[in-house]
Amino acid sequence: METTRRDFIKISSLGAGGVALTSTTIPLSGIFGKKKPALDDEKLTKIPTYCDICFWKCAAWAFVDATGKIRKLEGNKNDLLDRGRLCPRGTGGIGAYYDDDRLKTPLVRIEEDGEQVFKEASWEEALDLVANKMKEIKEKHGPESFALLKHGSPGKHFAHLFQAYGSNTIAEPAFAQCRGPRDVGFKLTFGKPPGSPENTDLRDAKCIVLIGSHIGENMHNSQVQELSDAIDKGVSIITVDPRLSTVANKSKFWLPIRPSTDMALLLSWMHVLIYEELYDKEYVEKNTTGFEELKKHVRQFTPEWAYPITDIKPEMIRKSAREMAISAPSTIVHPGRHVVWYGDDTQRSRAIAILNALLGSWGRRGGFYFSEKMRIPKYPQPPYPKPKWDAHTLSHHFPFANHGVTGDVIKASLIEKTKEHHVKAWMVAGTNLTKSVPERAVIESAINELEFLVVVDTMPMEITGYADVILPECTYLERYDQLRNSSWRTPSVALRMPAVKPKYQSKPAWWMAKQLGERLGLQDYFDYEDYEEVIKWQLEHVGTSLEEMKHLGVKNYDRRSKNLYMDEKATQKFKTPSGKIELYSQKLKDAGFEPFPVYKEHERPPKNYLRMIYGRAPMHTFSKTVNNPYLNELKNENLLWINPRVAKKWNLHYGQKVWLKNQDGVISTFPIKVRMTERIRWDSIYMVHGFGHNNKNLTRAYSKGASDTKLISKILTDPIMGGTGLRGNFVTILTEEPTKNIES
Ligand SMILES: Nc1nc2c(c(=O)[nH]1)N[C@H]1C(S)=C(S)[C@@H](COP(=O)(O)OP(=O)(O)OC[C@H]3O[C@@H](n4cnc5c(=O)[nH]c(N)nc54)[C@H](O)[C@@H]3O)O[C@H]1N2
Ligand SMILES: Nc1nc2c(c(=O)[nH]1)N[C@H]1C(S)=C(S)[C@@H](COP(=O)(O)OP(=O)(O)OC[C@H]3O[C@@H](n4cnc5c(=O)[nH]c(N)nc54)[C@H](O)[C@@H]3O)O[C@H]1N2
Ligand code: SF4
Ligand SMILES: [Mo]
């Protein structure tokens, strides 16, 4: 195999790690709220934070003992997002701090005896190197050529640095690999995306329709808590999923749909609601445009039409549509979150939005409420310079891409793909690109062509193996970050501050950004000693103080607007061109797309292949928690869900190790164990995302299970906003170990 300058290399120079507490000293709640009463809270100091294990940002307390050790994390009872209870991942967040595989010092790639290795470097050395590269790229190619690929809290600090430097070539997987199509589809229809946290009024819903959305395995805290309350109150749930998910098990209707055909079901539900006159006539008349055209459009989409496509019997389609209508407007057809499936995802999200409009649920109790957040002023700074081009320029062929598209930034780094706007260097902060973005071969080629790659992470994740410089960030428990400002039924502000000093030589992202900014002559954008000063200033502008917030952790405010729901007497104005809910989208039509969602057939698995689908496990977040000592203890590998009928055909037995090969001949690096179960359709296999780590420095996660992302070599691109559809890949099963190069 040809080797290149930027081979994926191990971090071999890492010194011996600190000693972690044994798991027995840390109370891990198995599931919400069941804590062992092991520690005497009186002797512990409570420090406020908000959880960073996922993006729900639950407010929490870190309990620190007299010796300065973090002993446990608990939810903050004043927080409406978690009501004092963290999810299992949040409780186990402490393991992110204690993981002795953490990055410990800055590292710089050097060549030694013809071999590439990482050498430990001082902060001065590493930051000088990065700053000099930033200067050099700016002079040679313009600042726009330095891209930032980021996710989460660290990304925000670096986005500030990059914009000050002159680059807005910024993208994150939260858009094109996650919820972009949903946000665009809902915005086109209602003038507003569902947001994060979603404005779903689950607590008061009487009927909840989940299209793949697997809440319960998807552990977004308040959604799980509210869904569980709604179940206690007798909510009826309709789950559409080729797999009997945890929530499907609690549902009145489980519709085990043929994967990739949801659009047909959604259209035929519209047909039933309209032609059985079950829709909310008054609401539709008053608030929407395009109803008559929609009625005509869906006339042909009868349940009988949808049956052979979806595998769902006409009677089930009718019954489930009636179930939604009975509870309306307190019926939520959930928008989902990770919606990049088959490339027509904006249109599928539009179909979901239209169904909600027909049911009259947007702006109604038990449907979708109008969320609100705080107005927190920005710390004073000069305006950013205007870049000559940016991530939007790279994605101009996707007219509704309102955020950077990760794949386009990556492709703009490939010489043969790039005409005018060539990306020459990346900073990657808080995203493990080879696990979160598919088409590994494309990413690796792009990385090889870069002049420079700097990675900021807490862990020696796969992406660090490609870096020229690695900057070790401390964990969320060791730093200040932006104030949490979540949109919700009522606004709130939450504080994250260091519970303990950063371990090893790790540092917070805000500090790195400021250090780099100063080296680049951008000190006016960082006019503070430390981030505490920024937080203090902002808190004083929202009627509180750092001192008060240290005691409260989270502060709840009253709404500015009275209306959590629609004022039925007034005329509601939506932020769409017509001011109404747009069933018919003139904007899509003008841009050359279908103004109404249409069904298009997607490729089905070839003979001897199965569709590969994936999802979440309650105790893990993507790839980032697999090595966490406490969460790894709860689940250390993923299993291959396969229908017993299919398993029989392949002569497989429970627990057998198999390898997967996809339609392009890509083979899983490690084997995965078979789990036979009736809970999955015969045409698909399922696995939890995030496993199959191939960096040996992740001592617990290395080689455990298979990586779904590696097997996604083909993507189905959403032409409207550039979403990366991940579910058009098929795999076959290999029972013998294939001969291949195992990656390091
Ligand atoms: N195949 C496949 N691909 C997917 C998905 C899927 O289900 N299947 N899901 C998609 C979705 S919905 C999303 S939102 C994205 C998520 O994509 P990512 O956010 O890239 O998810 P992770 O793979 O967990 O990578 C997170 C990285 O951040 C690092 N990190 C954690 N904490 C910190 C910190 O405090 N500071 C810094 N600097 N780094 C930190 C972790 O070590 C890890 O390297 O992935 C998308 N991609
Ligand atoms: N524990 C945990 N919770 C998380 C996360 C995490 O990493 N861990 N990540 C968070 C994030 S960023 C996101 S975006 C969300 C994602 O979570 P969701 O938006 O709830 O779910 P998806 O990943 O879209 O869908 C997974 C489900 O879709 C089903 N499915 C597969 N193909 C089809 C199909 O063709 N049709 C239908 N109807 N269903 C199908 C799968 O069987 C699986 O049950 O989870 C969030 N919550
Ligand atoms: S949902 Fe769980 S992991 Fe996510 S922020 Fe809340 S406690 Fe943390
Ligand atoms: Mo996501």
Check whether 20 has a pLDDT greater than 50: no
The pTM (predicted TM-score) of the whole model is 0.95
Find how far residue 275's CA is from the centre of its chain: 38
Q: Are strands 469-472 and 107-112 parallel, antiparallel or unpaired?
A: antiparallel
Distance 215 CA to ligand 4 centre (A): 13
Per-residue pLDDT of 634-692, as tens digits, reads 999 999 999 999 999 999 999 999 999 999 999 999 999 999 999 999 999 999 999 99
Report d(CA 351, CA 362) in Å as an integer: 14
Distance 314 CA to ligand 1 centre (A): 40
204: which 2 tokens?
Answer: 């008061």
Report d(CA 739, CA 397) in Å as an integer: 41
Angle, CA 156 vertex, CA 492 and CA 172 arms, to 5°? 110
Per-residue pLDDT of 263-281, as tens digits, reads 999 999 999 999 999 999 9
Distance 717 CA to ligand 4 centre (A): 17
Question: Chain-wide mean pLDDT for the chain?
Answer: 94
Check whether 480 has a pLDDT greater than 80: yes
pLDDT, mean of residues 523-544 = 98
443: which 2 tokens?
Answer: 């990413």
pLDDT at 43: 86
- The number of residues making up the chain comes to 744
Q: Which of 622, 685, 687, 724 to mutate to test the pocket of ligand 1 (most atoms within 8 A of CB)?
A: 622
In the numeric block, the tokens 């990306």 are attached to: 423
pLDDT, mean of residues 171-184 = 97
Contact predicate 189/353, CB 8 Å: yes
Contact predicate 424/164, CB 8 Å: no
**Ligand 2 nearest-atom number relative to CA 55:** 12
In the numeric block, the tokens 């003139």 are attached to: 586
For 675-678, which contacts have Cβ atoms below 8 Å and span 24 or more sequence positions?
675/639, 675/640, 675/641, 675/642, 676/642, 676/643, 676/644, 676/647, 676/652, 677/641, 677/642, 677/643, 677/644, 678/244, 678/643, 678/644
pLDDT at 236: 98
What residue spans of 489-569 are helical by DSSP H? 509-519, 531-541, 546-552
Question: CB under 6 Å to ligand 1: residues?
Answer: 52, 151, 154, 173-174, 177-178, 338, 429-432, 435-436, 456-459, 461, 473, 475-476, 509, 614, 621-624, 689, 708-709, 712, 726
Q: Which of 32, 613, 681 to mutate to test the pocket of ligand 2 (most atoms within 8 A of CB)?
A: 613
Select the more confidently predicted residue: 34 or 603: 603
Indicate the SS3 state at residue 430: coil
Nearest residue to 730 (alpha-carbon basis) of 663, 666, 672, 682: 663
Boundaries of every domain in the chain: 183-371+573-590, 610-743
Confidence of residue 33 (pLDDT cuts 50, 70, 90): very low
Contact predicate 30/45, CB 8 Å: no
pLDDT at 13: 38
Considering every ligand atom shown, identify the ligand nearest to the alpha carbon of residue 723 and give its number. Answer: 1
> Which phi and psi angles does 611 have, rounded to 5°?
-75, 135
Per-residue pLDDT of 219-252, as tens digits, reads 999 999 999 999 999 999 999 999 999 999 999 9
pLDDT at 14: 34
**DSSP, res 531:** H
Beta carbon of 58 within 6 Å of any ligand 3 atom: yes
Check whether 290 has a pLDDT greater than 90: yes
**DSSP, res 675:** E
Q: In sequence order, what are the beta bridge partners of 434?
A: none
pLDDT at 562: 84
Check whether 29 has a pLDDT greater than 50: no
CATH number of 183-371+573-590: 3.40.228.10
Confidence of residue 4 (pLDDT cuts 50, 70, 90): low
CATH number of 610-743: 2.40.40.20
Report d(CA 605, CA 628) in Å as an integer: 35
Check whether 39 has a pLDDT greater than 70: no
Angle, CA 75 vertex, CA 71 and CA 76 arms, to 5°? 115
Check whether 45 has a pLDDT greater than 50: yes
Q: In sequence order, what are the beta bridge partners of 642?
A: 676
pLDDT at 166: 98
Q: Report how many helices (DSSP H) and strands (DSSP E) the chain contains, helices first.
A: 23, 26
**Ligand 1 nearest-atom number relative to CA 431:** 20
Beta carbon of 712 within 6 Å of any ligand 3 atom: no
Contact predicate 221/90, CB 8 Å: yes
Select the more confidently predicted residue: 743 or 438: 438
Per-residue pLDDT of 155-168, as tens digits, reads 999 999 999 999 99
Nearest residue to 55 (alpha-carbon basis) of 226, 247, 223: 223
